[in-house]
Chain A
């Protein structure tokens, strides 16, 4: 039974062209689904549509977003906010802007538990301490009293991960959580997300453009081109035998360390022309 089920979702810029074309994808309970594609393919838009944080200029034209059997798009905004707030969380892309610079770390994690979910302050603080420990922050009590600018990017991303898991959400959308970090930190953060996901049994929608990341943390994969899903496979199958020619070309374009002299392989023009024609993109 899939926890999140996006059905035939289409969206467009108000008075402009389409952004998502008939997108369908499922994320089962405890499953990690990767969502890959080029810049502008609409990967982040899907995550934002699920969480209800689409930019104002974007409108959903058709489709359903079923979360735990309820169509989010049919709910009135206030109820939708409560539903999403209680069951979903976001790990944002840029840890530098994702924490409020003028507030201490502690309240930024606990406020939401206290105000939205009705926990007692003490319970929320204990939870925050435990989670910061879980994301391997030494001296969590001190970090809770600090301001974001006093911490490094990697630390902030750990805090955001802790914060995302704080309310035991059923679904987390990770929007390129490692893109803004440097490569050595990326690996630690990925391991951390994967470990927490397994431990808490959370469904994870992992938006990324890095196939290497997908192979490490995801079980399922959707490949997006110009707002349309062109391939939906299990990760193991995708890396051995991609179904769609565009996915195969994308896979071939990934640089490999085993053969550094091969250089970079662009996706061939013919493949692009074919996939454009297929999705109906200008």
Chain B
């Protein structure tokens, strides 16, 4: 029994550290992209097009992960793409979390008409197809970093609101809330001091999941050319470009894809790991 518990704990720890390590590397890479990237990500060299990664025959050691059909360095493009991916992930997920959690807490704790209005609104909101909705939104306000962030917030806040509303409702029915009310605490005070700490582990998990989702959404929008201007390297844009030459130069598609995959996985694992660490009941 004791050994079993130890096992579970240790696995959660490894998961947390591995995913945190990958994300820290990404942050450093994003911050110092101009110093780390071996080449200019936009520099074209048509004579060096579709060079394979370093271990393959015919590679150029200057282009570690090869080049795309216009001769741009894949590694450098991935490195600069990290900037946009992380910016979108952090800003849009935080905003989504803030909006969704606040509305969810209010609906779940105050119940009554606040809850009725909010829940029906969320039902209607969730019935819109999200991809079409974001494409429509970006078509109206124009592409760019701000539009992507806005699209993610506008679409995904419902995810938070739903889950956190349910949790706030469950916590609100507990006796400790009744005790706090008897003790003379106001409703808003109860919400902040009694309910919020108990909902926080879930908020953390959702937040990190949402960061992963934001990275994917940004990639999807880049893939359909609705993201940033095509000059700026993005992972989704690279995948989209690489798709056309997958038989001649698979590395243009595969390396950004692996980066994307690891990043999304790390975000979700980070959330799980943090939850296990900070939830006093699970700890």
Contact = CB atoms under 8 A, between A and B. Distances in A.
Interface of A: 48, 51-53, 56, 78, 81-82, 84-86, 88-90, 92-94, 97-103, 108, 111-112, 115-116, 147, 149, 160, 163
A101 B189 CA distance: 17
A51 B280 CA distance: 30
A170 to B, nearest CB: 13
Contacts, number: 75
B10 interface: no
Given A90-B182, A100-B194, 15 more contacts: A52-B181, A52-B182, A53-B178, A53-B181, A53-B182, A56-B111, A85-B184, A97-B176, A100-B197, A102-B197, A112-B180, A116-B184, A116-B185, A147-B281, A149-B280
B230 to A, nearest CB: 48
11 contacts: A51-B178, A89-B183, A93-B175, A94-B175, A98-B175, A100-B176, A101-B281, A111-B193, A115-B189, A116-B185, A160-B179
A90 B184 contact: no
Nearest to B195: A100
A112 B280 contact: no
B174 interface: yes
Closest 6 CB pairs of A and B: A85-B184, A98-B175, A92-B175, A112-B183, A102-B197, A97-B174
B112 A56 contact: yes
A212 B117 CA distance: 49
Given A81-B186, A85-B182, A99 B280 contact: no
Nearest to B111: A56
A92 B182 CA distance: 11
A225 to B, nearest CB: 25
B185 A115 contact: yes
A78 B185 CA distance: 10
B200 interface: yes
A264 to B, nearest CB: 31
Nearest to B197: A102
B200 A102 contact: yes
Q: Categorize the interface residue count of chain B.
A: 20 to 34
B179 A92 contact: yes
Given A56-B111, A147-B280, A98 B184 contact: no
B259 interface: no
A116 B280 CA distance: 27
Contacts of B193: 111
Contacts of A98: 174-176, 178-179
Contacts of B181: 51-53, 81
Nearest to B112: A56
A90 B178 contact: yes
Contacts of B197: 100, 102-103
Nearest to B176: A100
Contacts of A99: 176
A116 B183 contact: yes
B106 to A, nearest CB: 15
A48 B181 CA distance: 11
Among the interface residues A82, A93, A102, which one has the most CB atoms of the partner chain B within 10 A?
A102
B165 to A, nearest CB: 16
Contacts of A108: 176
A16 B183 CA distance: 30
Nearest to A149: B281
Nearest to A164: B179
A86 B197 CA distance: 25
A86 B184 contact: yes
Interface in B111-170: 111-112
B198 interface: yes
A102 B280 contact: yes
B79 to A, nearest CB: 40
Nearest to B178: A53
Interface in B175-234: 175-176, 178-186, 189, 193-194, 197-198, 200
Contacts of B111: 56
A90 B185 contact: no
A101 B200 CA distance: 12
Nearest to A85: B184
A82 B178 CA distance: 15
B189 to A, nearest CB: 8
Contacts of B175: 92-94, 97-98
Nearest to B201: A102
Interface string B90-119: 000000000000000000000110000000
